Structure 1
Amino acid sequence: MVKRPEGRNAPDYASKIHIVVSPAYYHNYMMGQLFASQVHHTIAREVLKTDPAHALYVGHKSVGKYMTKRVFAPGKTLPWNDLTKFATGEDLNPKAFAEDFRGK
């Protein structure tokens, strides 16, 4: 656990403007990470036919084609939850994100 430095008595919470003016902002970071993990696992399994822990995108044009067709092309034409399902075949969920931490 991080301990407060001796003699420090300042309102550190106020140093992060997100907390004060946009309290739900950090939740967006987590949703983005969930989406990224889910897309990565989908690409690894369906496009590269490999374990997500060993997936390398370099030199695989099929990854770019997947991203173009499933993420970039639809863009804002779909609500984010529909885009997630279109891109990965599932609603946004924490399964892929949790898998990223197994055995670490």
Structure 2
Amino acid sequence: QDLNSLWWATVEKYQLVKRPPNRNEPDWAAKIHFAIAPCYYHNYMLGELLASQLHHHIVHNILKLESDENVSYVGQRKAGDFLAEKVFQAGALYHWNDMIERATEQPLTPKYFVNQFVKSD
């Protein structure tokens, strides 16, 4: 199988990046995600889901704001205290999924990621 052609077909389809003209180098091999660390991409997605869920929880439950429009955590001691107490302080005491539920009062869900990045009309 021509892995480079497969790589560029995937890049063009999902990232909308065109293959440079006359390029025939093993670009696929430059991505450690495929060759030696295949778990990276799903870990990135888990991180994004967690970030969105933490953001929602901080905005609505810690800072008690109606919306995250123009929100900033700068100078918001409550946000830092929440992260220190509920996320970082536990260290490895809990399984990551349990930590998320303890911190945000619900299991990890894609709902907040979708709400943050997919705006309805």
Q: TM-score when scaled to structure 1? A: 0.90
Question: Is 1:72 equivalent to 2:88 in the alignment?
Answer: yes
Structure with higher Rg: it is: 2
Match of 1:5 among 20, 28, 31: 20
Residue identity in the other structure for 2:58: I
**CA deviation map 1:19-77 (0-9, x unaligned):** 11111121111101111110010000001111133322122211111111110111210
* Distance (Å, rounded) in 1 between the aligned partners of 2:70 and 2:60: 10
**How far 1:83 moved relative to its partner?**
0.5
Residue identity in the other structure for 2:59: A
Give the number of the structure with larger relative contact order, counting CA–CA contacts within 8 Å between residues 6 or more apart: 1
Q: TM-score when scaled to structure 2? A: 0.78
Number of residue-to-residue matches in the alignment: 104
Match of 1:27 among 42, 52, 58: 42
User: Which residue is equivalent to 1:83?
Assistant: 99
Runs of 4 or more above 4 Å deviation: none
Match of 1:42 among 57, 67, 79: 57
RMSD: 1.5
